[in-house]
Structure 1
Amino acid sequence: MKNFFVISLIAIMLLQIFSKVVVLVDFQANREYIMEFLCINRDKPELKCEGKCQLTKKLKAQHDTDKQANERGQKQEVQVNLYCQNLFSLKPIIPETIVTYPSGYTFSYSSIAYHCIFHPPQVIV
């Protein structure tokens, strides 16, 4: 019983989603009947309507029904602006005066560059 209820709810939701497809399938299945009895232009074969007037009418009715359902289901949007005071300043802290201290450090670093290591390999014959 529970599975039947779940399957029927899923089927109803799918029919709602694919309502235009259902209208098109119904039109194709009953095209002969629509052309013969329901078509407005059945007395004017030169227009080659072939029931498209009924299809257009049904699709427009379906569109209007969907539009009304959307308008009923829409919620009014309210924009809320939240203001908060910036507690942390993003400005860089720049001291007003720059103080330099004399340093007794002298540049006494030297290195020996090993340029001979960085060369392409050579074939020794």
Structure 2
Amino acid sequence: MVYLCKNFEFLHKLKAIFFVFLYLVAMLRSIQPYIEYALNQDYIATFLCINKNNPKLQCHGKCHLAKALEKQQESTPNSLRVSLKNYPIGFVTIYKLKKIQEFISVSISYYSYKQLYDFDYNRDAFHPPDIG
């Protein structure tokens, strides 16, 4: 029975690692052309660049990067694209947090009593009212 529990723990960890990997792949998909361009810039500039015969433009393969980005934008469904026109961020209130010293306040008490007030029970003795 202990073996089954350890096996389930391993499967949960494996499933978590798998989903983290899928998440990272999905996030890196949008920057994949930039990574490919950075890693293969010499090859792209030498063989794939349209403007390699015109050195005055100093393209260095950026035309290929622009094509790859355009191709990726075409392959992305319209439902996944977010238009910033629909989400204005100009009216968002930005709150500034106080300094850390203001949040952390340590009060050191040198007295054993928390409420420092003076009240003497013997100062006024109770006298019953006069009846006569």
TM-score (norm 1): 0.48
Q: Which protein has greater RCO, CA pairs closer than 8 Å, 6+ apart? A: 1
Say which one has the larger Rg.
Answer: 1
TM-score normalised by structure 2 residue count: 0.45
